[in-house]
Amino acid sequence: MAMILQSCEDNSENGIEVPDLFEVGSFTDNGTTVVVYTPHPPQVGYNVLYLQVHEGGEALDNLDIDIMPVMHMETHSHSSPVELPGQVREEEYNLYRFAVVFTMPGSGMHGGWELNISISDDNQPDTRAEGVIETGVEESRRVINFETENGDRYVLSLVEPEEPETGSNELLLTLHKRESMMSYPPVLDAEFLFEPWMPSMDHGSGNNIHPVHQQNGHYKGLVNFNMTGDWELRFEITRNEIDLGQHIFEVQF
């Protein structure tokens, strides 16, 4: 079932501040309420999300939070890459920040995504709260699922530029390996060669920087667009001297 996302104004509810974000969904278990927010409706690709956990009008701190995204298909189920929250809330919204790379769209009768969430802490031995939040995911062209010649499967996502502009833009990608239908660890040791290309004008651009690994499967570089129009971001990826192929994201602005 797809969730209807609604923008929330800055206010408080039962003593808990409601952030100026879209609410994806919520549940209450054992008196603990869990709410998931996002800056925009979830889409295929890298999504930053935020988690609010409160009980009796008090926001809870120092939590252990486990999140498993799951897509149920007709014949099987699978997960996707996820970056779990830390035990400390981030500063901008005072919420627990996490991220999910949704690998395919889904909503309603055609299948949607679930966020399976479990909350625990050191103050009680049992799980404090657990539940499922369902969400639709809109289509985009910001993820490439690919398989190498030896049968290994990877998920490559384009994070930035999200809103490209003429000149130098931050280039940020994530790379994960599918070890099983439910396990997608980040790849920390890939090497990228990068070239932007404009097919309609048959030229590229200078002053680009190949993406290099930063942390947790994130690779950062620079892309220079010298004019607006249709661009291809072309990546040649290797890992331990094994060719992972050439992969292209299309960008239009």
Average pLDDT over residues 103-132: 87
**How high is the pLDDT of residue 109?**
53
**How high is the pLDDT of residue 111?**
66
Q: For residue range 11-35, what is the model confidence (pLDDT) as tens digits?
A: 565 668 899 999 999 999 999 999 9
**How high is the pLDDT of residue 107?**
80
The domain spans of the chain are 6-135, 143-252
pLDDT at residue 250 above 50? yes
Q: For residue range 201-219, what is the model confidence (pLDDT) as tens digits?
A: 999 999 999 999 999 999 9
CATH of segment(s) 143-252: 2.60.40.10
Select from 1.20.120, 2.30.30, 2.70.50, 2.60.40 the CATH code of 6-135.
2.60.40
DSSP codes of every residue in 95-142: SEEEEEEE-S-B-GGG--EEEEEEEE-TT-SS-SEEEEEEE-BB--S-
Give the C-alpha separation, 117 to 119, whole Å: 7
Six token digits for residue 53: 């956990």
pLDDT band for position 2 (50/70/90)? Answer: very low
- Kindly report the number of other CB atoms within 10 A of residue 160's CB atom: 15
Same fold, 6-135 and 143-252: yes
Q: For residue range 161-196, what is the model confidence (pLDDT) as tens digits?
A: 999 999 999 999 999 999 999 999 999 999 999 999
Give the C-alpha separation, 61 to 49, whole Å: 18
Give the C-alpha separation, 115 to 132, whole Å: 6
